[in-house]
Structure 1
Amino acid sequence: MQEDSSRSPSYTVACEDYVHVVEFSPFTSGTPVSLLAYGGNQYVVVGTCLFQEEDMEVEGAEFTVLRAFHHELRVDTLAWSPESRLDPSPTIRFCTAAADRKLRLLSSDLQDRHEVKVMEGHTSYINHLVFEPTQGRQIASVSDDHTCRVWDLDGCETTTLRLRSPGISVCWHPEEVFKLMVAEKKGTIRFYDLVTQQAILSLDCGLSPLMSADWCLTNTIKVGAVAGNDCIDAASNENLFATTGCPGKISSQLLIHHLGHPQPMMIGSIPVGSGLSWHRTLPLCVIGGDRKLCFWMTEM
C-alpha cells in the first residue's frame, strides 16, 4: 500500500485549554451518540460525539458538552466505566489518575448528584488504568512502583500483582474477564489469571522501553505494542493500529497502519498532540492538542 502524504485532521473540535488525555468510551451509551471525555489542567470534560458517517444530517462532527468536572490536578490517564449510559437515565462514571499517585472515581447523574472517591495505595506514578468491562465493579491500575493493583468501587485494594519493572499499560477484555493483560517497561507483556493471581502467558517485545500496549476489543488474539523512544502511545482497532510519536519538539505524528501492510496507510500531524483513542465502531481516532481535539477518519 502506498504511503499517503501527511494529512490534516478530518475534523477538529475547539477546547478551552490544552488536552492531556482523551478517551472514547468503548461501551455503548444506550443512544446513537458516543461518549467522549478529555482532561487537562484541573478539569475533565464529558460530552457526546456524532459524525456524518453515522448520521447524514450531521455536517462533519458534532460534539456536545454534557458536563465539566473539576479535577484537583492535571489529568494523566482516564478510563470509562461500562455503567456510563445516557438512556434511560444518565449515569456517568469514570476514573482518573494524577501525579499525586491517587485514583479518583467520579460518578454523576449530570444533574444534582456528583461524587468523587479518592483511592490511595500506589507509591509512584500511575501510568494506566481500566475498568472491568462487563459490570464495571472493579478497576485495575499499573504504576512505576512495579505493581498492578485491582480495586473495588469502595476504594479497597483487592489484588496486588508484583511486576518486574514499571507497569505501562493494563487491559481488561470483555470476553476474558478473569484475565488481565499487563505490559511492563522492560518489554514484557503478561496475561494474569485473576483467580490464581499467576501469570499464564508471557510475550516479549524484544525491544525496550515499552511505551504502550493495547488488547484489541474485537479480537482476543490481537495485541499491539510500541517500544523504543520514538512512539509514545498506541491503540488498536481490529485491523488498524495507530501510534503517536514526537518527531520534533513542536509537533506530534500520528501513524495508522493496516495490519496486512508493512507501510503506514495514513500519516497525520498535529502540534504537540497527546492522548490517543479509537471510536467504538468507526475507523476513526482522536488525539488531544493545544485547545482542540483532532479526529482522523480512515477509509471506510
Structure 2
Amino acid sequence: MKQDSSRNAAYTVDCEDYVHVVEFNPFECGDAGTLIAYGGNNYVVVGTCTFQEEEAEVDGIQYKTLRTFHHGQRVDAIAWSPETRLDALPPIIRFCTAAADKKLRLFTSDLQDKNEYKVLAGHSDYINDLVFAPKEGQEIASVSDDHTCRVWDLEGNQKAYFVLRSPGRSVCWHPEEACKLMVAEKNGTIRFYDLITQQAILSLESEQMPLMSAHWCLRNTFKVGAVAGNDWLIWDITRSSYPQDKRPVHMDRAHLFRWSSTNENLFATTGYPGKMTTQLLIHHLGHPQPILIGSAAVGSGLSWHRTLPLCAMGGDHKLLFWVTEM
C-alpha cells in the first residue's frame, strides 16, 4: 500500500448548490455505473458515476444526472432502498430523506412520469440518520435528537419504537443480521436491538462523549467503529463491550465514521464541518497513521463506493471523490 499524505480530491463534480449529504447506492441495482444521490438546501439529485478505476475507457469520472427532486427543505440524510433497479422496465428509484422539518420523505420514481413522495411524520426533533431494511426494503429505521429510534413501514406506520437515553446519532441494519438493529447514542452507548422481541440484546460503551457517528462493518459483523470526541474507536463485539482500539485523529472533534464497503480494515472519518475546511482522513488498521488526508471547503457527508476503495464527500457547489490505492 502506498503511504498517502495530504492531497486534493481525485475527481470533482460541479453542483448547483451547497451539498449537505451524499450517498452512493450500497446495493447491486443492475446499472451502468453506480447510482449516487446528494442533497442540498431544498432538492435531491440522483445521478450515475462511472470511474476509470472500473471502466478503462472512462477518462477520470463520467457523471450523469438522472433526475432532480424538489425537496422544499434542507436535506439532512439520505438512504437508498434495495428495491432500486435501473435494469427494470420501467426503472425503480426509491430512497428516503430526513429533512430539517423533522420529517422523513419516501421518494419513488420511474425517472419518467411517476415521481411521488410520502411524508413520514412522528419525530419531534431533528433526524440524524436513517436506513432501509437491507433485504426486502419494506421498512425504514430512523434515529433522532428526540431520544427515539423508530421503525416505519412504507406507508408511514410505526412498526417499532425504542426509547433512547440521549439523542440517537446513527442507525445501521446489516444484511447478514436482518433481525438486529444497531443504534448509537450521543452519550457514548451503542445498542443492538432484536426486532422480533423489540429488546436490547447487547451494548457497547465508548466511555467518552459526544459520540457523533457509528457504523457496523459490512465485511465483518463483529466489527463496529465510531467517532467520539476527537477519537476514532473500534470494537470487536465478541471480545469486549469496550473498544479494542482507539486513536485521537481530529483536533476540532470528529464528526463522521464510515467503514469501506470492500475492506474490513479500511475506514474514513471526517472532522467537524463549520470551519473553513473539513478534514477527511482515510485509515487502515494495519497503519499507525492515516493513509490519506484530504480536505474540502465546508465539506459534509461521507460515503464509500460499493466496489471501489473510493469515497465521496459533499462541499460548496461540489461533489468530491478520493481514491485510496490498496
TM-score (norm 2): 0.90
* Cα distance in 2, alignment partners of residues 77 and 282 from structure 1: 22
Note the C-alpha offset of 1:260: 1.8
* Cα distance in 2, alignment partners of residues 147 and 31 from structure 1: 36
Note the C-alpha offset of 1:88: 2.5
* Cα distance in 1, alignment partners of residues 3 and 100 from structure 2: 39
Q: What is the 5 A alignment of 1:1-300?
A: 4-89=4-89, 90-228=91-229, 230-237=253-260, 238-246=264-272, 249-300=275-326
* Cα distance in 2, alignment partners of residues 275 and 139 from structure 1: 20
* Cα distance in 2, alignment partners of residues 147 and 23 from structure 1: 23
Task: Give SS of 1:76's match.
Answer: strand
* Cα distance in 2, alignment partners of residues 221 and 23 from structure 1: 24
Task: Give SS of 1:35's match.
Answer: strand
In the alignment, structure 1 segments of 5+ residues that lack a partner are none
* Cα distance in 1, alignment partners of residues 106 and 219 from structure 2: 27
Note the C-alpha offset of 1:233: 1.0
Task: Between 254-263 and 189-198, report the one with greater CA deviation.
Answer: 254-263
Note the C-alpha offset of 1:206: 1.6
* Cα distance in 2, alignment partners of residues 147 and 246 from structure 1: 24
Indicate if the aligned counterparts of 1:183 and 1:189 stay in contact, CA closer than 8 A. yes
* Cα distance in 1, alignment partners of residues 218 and 272 from structure 2: 27
* Cα distance in 1, alignment partners of residues 206 and 303 from structure 2: 22
* Cα distance in 1, alignment partners of residues 107 and 272 from structure 2: 31
Task: Give SS of 1:214's match.
Answer: strand
* Cα distance in 2, alignment partners of residues 31 and 218 from structure 1: 23
Note the C-alpha offset of 1:31: 2.3
Note the C-alpha offset of 1:254: 0.4
* Cα distance in 2, alignment partners of residues 44 and 193 from structure 1: 33
* Cα distance in 2, alignment partners of residues 284 and 191 from structure 1: 29
Task: Between 258-267 and 103-112, report the one with greater CA deviation.
Answer: 258-267
* Cα distance in 2, alignment partners of residues 33 and 239 from structure 1: 25
Note the C-alpha offset of 1:216: 1.4
Cα-to-partner distance string for 1:209-230 (whole Å, 9 max, x where unaligned): 0010111112211111000161
* Cα distance in 1, alignment partners of residues 225 and 132 from structure 2: 19
Task: Between 241-250 and 108-117, report the one with greater CA deviation.
Answer: 241-250
Task: Between 240-249 and 225-234, report the one with greater CA deviation.
Answer: 240-249
Task: Between 103-112 and 213-222, report the one with greater CA deviation.
Answer: 213-222
Note the C-alpha offset of 1:283: 0.4
Please tell me the residue identity of whatever aligns with 1:121: G
TM-score (norm 1): 0.97
* Cα distance in 2, alignment partners of residues 249 and 173 from structure 1: 33
Indicate if the aligned counterparts of 1:2 and 1:263 stay in contact, CA closer than 8 A. no
* Cα distance in 1, alignment partners of residues 273 and 152 from structure 2: 37
Task: Give SS of 1:100's match.
Answer: coil
RMSD between superposed Cα atoms in Å: 1.4
Residues 13 and 95 (structure 1), Cα distance of their counterparts in 2 relative to 1, 3 Å cut: same
Residues 50 and 200 (structure 1), Cα distance of their counterparts in 2 relative to 1, 3 Å cut: same
Please tell me the residue identity of whatever aligns with 1:171: C
Indicate if the aligned counterparts of 1:3 and 1:263 stay in contact, CA closer than 8 A. no
Please tell me the residue identity of whatever aligns with 1:73: Q
* Cα distance in 2, alignment partners of residues 114 and 186 from structure 1: 39
Indicate if the aligned counterparts of 2:273 and 2:298 stay in contact, CA closer than 8 A. no
Note the C-alpha offset of 1:3: 5.9
Note the C-alpha offset of 1:195: 0.5
Indicate if the aligned counterparts of 1:47 and 1:64 stay in contact, CA closer than 8 A. yes
**Percentage of pairs with the same residue:** 70
Note the C-alpha offset of 1:87: 0.3
Please tell me the residue identity of whatever aligns with 2:115: H
* Cα distance in 1, alignment partners of residues 66 and 23 from structure 2: 15
Note the C-alpha offset of 1:12: 0.6
Indicate if the aligned counterparts of 1:41 and 1:73 stay in contact, CA closer than 8 A. yes
Task: Between 86-95 and 178-187, report the one with greater CA deviation.
Answer: 86-95
In the alignment, structure 2 segments of 5+ residues that lack a partner are 231-252
